[in-house]
Amino acid sequence: MRALRDHGYRIPEDVSIIGFGNLSAGSLSDPPLTGIRVSNHQIGLRGLERLEERLQGSSEYRREKMLIAGELVIRGSVIGI
């Protein structure tokens, strides 16, 4: 956001910005950062499941896509349409 402002862009008038993870620090930025809130619990639980599979002898590494519902938390970094 600072780099955009340094180049003359206004947030949110010229550029809307959305973060992922809805970190609490986003509410402290200027303007406050809009974010997508996801369940860290669900992400961590799946990570533990994968670790358990590996510890039980599955040496196969595979990529996995995971779909987790998110919630948009609107703050000051986006402009209404």
Per-residue pLDDT, averaged over 35-60, amounts to 87
Confidence of residue 4 (pLDDT cuts 50, 70, 90): very high
Three-state DSSP state, 34: strand
Q: What is the mean pLDDT of the chain?
A: 87
Q: Are 1 and 77 in contact (CB under 8 A)?
A: yes
Residue 29: its pLDDT value, please?
A: 86
Indicate the pTM of the whole model.
Answer: 0.67
Is the pLDDT at 15 greater than 80, yes or no?
A: yes
Q: Are 16 and 1 in contact (CB under 8 A)?
A: no
Confidence of residue 81 (pLDDT cuts 50, 70, 90): low
Residue 13: its pLDDT value, please?
A: 94
User: Measured between alpha carbons, how far is residue 22 from residues 46, 58, 60 in Å?
Assistant: 20, 34, 33
